[in-house]
Amino acid sequence: MSNSTDLNLETFPYGKFRAEYRHIIDGHASQPFALGPHGRPEVVVVPSQLYQGMVDQCRRLEEMSRTIPILLTAAQAGVAFPSDSLAALGYRPQFDATRLANFVSHLALGATHDEEGQPLPESHIPLTHEPVEEDDLELTYRDSIVGA
């Protein structure tokens, strides 16, 4: 016997699950179900493929949370900031090079990844220019025409 709950999940008592786990799992290959006494879910069982999708979505949301504030600012300003996420939402403002250039130059915003999507390494090495005196010598060639 199973029940539907507030989670809208089919919930199986532990005893039933113990006795019929193979049948229950096979019957929920692509959807989660719950376990618990008296129809009260205590544990949710999620198929591995679905779980992987949830993890991917969480990671994507976490990444988006870093870029969303900037993208929202761009959208509010009406500038054509190059964004796949905004484009996917149908945001396609008119391109104006000067407006966009002004916008990006005033943002505290830099690239975080290279063109291939790898995180950009950032140098923390303190750099100091060492003055050097450059010599005026020039290369001379054996086959140069004398006097040329």
Partner 1 sequence: MLDPWYPPPGEYYVPLSEAVHYPLRQGDLVGPVTIDGRATPIVQVVHPTCELGKGQVDRIQVCAVEELSRLDDDFTRSCVVAGMRETGGSFRVAFAHTFFLPGIHAHDEGMYGNFRRRYLVDRAEVCLENRSAALTHDARVFFIRRWIYFRFRILLSLNQVRGLEADRIRADRAFEGPRPAWADDTNHAP
Nearer to partner 1, 34 or 80 (CB): 80
Number of residues that bind partner 1 (CB under 8 A): 45
Nearer to partner 1, 29 or 125 (CB): 125
Question: What residues between 29 and 68 interact with partner 1 by CB under 8 A?
Answer: 60, 62-64, 66-67
CB of 14 to partner 1, least distance (A): 40
Among 30, 48, 76, 98, binds partner 1 (CB under 8 A): 98
Nearer to partner 1, 31 or 112 (CB): 112
What does the buried/exposed string (b/e) look like for 117-145 if buried means 16 or more CB atoms within 10 Å of the residue's CB? Answer: eeeeeeeeeeeeeeeeeeeeeeeeeeeee
113 interacts with partner 1 by CB under 8 A = yes
CB of 68 to partner 1, least distance (A): 9
8 interacts with partner 1 by CB under 8 A = no
Secondary structure (DSSP) of 85-131 = HHHHTT--PPP-HHHHHHHHHTSS----B-TTSPBPP----------
144 interacts with partner 1 by CB under 8 A = no
Nearest-angstrom CA–CA distance, 53 and 141:
66
Orientation of helix 48-77 relative to helix 97-105, angle to 10°: 110
Q: Which of 63, 103, 101, 58 is nearest to 84 (CA)?
A: 63
Cα 35 to its chain centre, rounded Å, is 33
Binding positions for partner 1, rule: CB under 8 A: 60, 62-64, 66-67, 70-71, 80-87, 95, 97-98, 100-102, 104-115, 117, 120-123, 127-129, 131, 134, 138
